[in-house]
Amino acid sequence: MIPGHVAIIMDGNGRWAEKKSLPRACGHKQGVRNMKEIVNAASGLGIKILTLYAFSTENWKRPQNEIEGLFSLIRQFLKEELGELNGSEIKLRILGDLSKFPKDITADIESACEITSQNTKFELNIALNYGARQELIRAFEAMSKQGIKEPTEETVSSFLYTSGQPDPDLLIRTSGELRISNFLLWQIAYSEIYVTDKLWPDFTKEDLKIAVAAFQKRKRRFGGL
Ligand code: FPP
């Protein structure tokens, strides 16, 4: 079975650049190129939802010039890729708190989400200024405001950024680190985890197929026998 929802922690852009004696910004640039490759590959494999961790709530601790570089890449991505995303019937959703981003980026993101909102072939979630704990606090606050005192698991899920989407079947992390880094804590309760040593810019369509094949060999029991 092809996993319906795959989430990826795209790690290793900096190391990829350092290994080649290039500035870190080149690693991020290559990382964005690879995002496009993997979105197309995932759609081609029959995956329906892809969630990519692009910027965490902790990434603000990085040097200002690196953050500015990431902003430029986001601007460029939205300008250059919106047409293709829409043409490929991809619905874009952003997971995270956009209020901290420069106004022009927030406006472009909102417009891109609106333009692609009716697309049904594939869903691309990009996590930007995302942190799973922050997402849960936001959900609890919203539930409390609505007077919900006895939430079920379904209620909590419906208040998350991923509302309405099934949980990830497969979580992939590139560049070898064995941690979750505050990503989708609620949603990955039963996800299969696959870690590869490949750095994100080197993670190819073939590597995605290998991860899916590994997933297909797992026996998912969801706590049962
Ligand atoms: C991890 O590599 C990567 C990131 C923190 C950023 C990923 C962001 C993008 C690919 C661009 C986002 C762009 C768009 C269009 C949404 P790292 O820098 O942590 O690598 P390192 O661990 O080797 O230093």
Reply yes or no on whether the pLDDT at 225 is more than 90.
Answer: no
What is the pLDDT, as a whole number, of residue 7? 98
59 is catalytic: yes
Question: What is the pLDDT averaged over residues 174-200?
Answer: 98
11 is catalytic: yes
Taking residue 124's Cβ as centre, other Cβ atoms within 10 Å add up to 22
| Residue boundaries of the structural domains of the chain | 5-216
What is the pLDDT, as a whole number, of residue 161? 98
The pair of structure tokens assigned to 101 is 């981003």
| Interatomic CA distance for residues 217 and 220, integer angstroms | 9
* Cα 70 from chain centroid (whole Å): 15
Q: Binning pLDDT at 50, 70 and 90, where does residue 130 land?
A: very high
Which residue has the least CA distance to atom 18 on ligand 1?
14
Q: Domain 5-216 maps to which CATH number in 3.40.1180.10, 3.40.30.10, 3.80.30.20, 3.30.300.30? A: 3.40.1180.10
Per-residue model confidence as pLDDT tens digits over 60-118: 999 999 999 999 999 999 999 999 999 999 999 999 999 999 999 999 999 999 999 99
Which residue has the least CA distance to atom 7 on ligand 1?
54
Picking from 133, 137, 76, 68, the residue whose alpha carbon sits closest to that of residue 101 is: 68
Cα–Cα distance list, 195 to 44, 60, 173, 174 (Å): 22, 25, 5, 6
Instruction: Confirm or reject: Cβ of 54 under 6 Å from ligand 1.
Output: yes
Per-residue model confidence as pLDDT tens digits over 28-41: 999 999 999 999 99
Instruction: Confirm or reject: Cβ of 170 under 6 Å from ligand 1.
Output: no
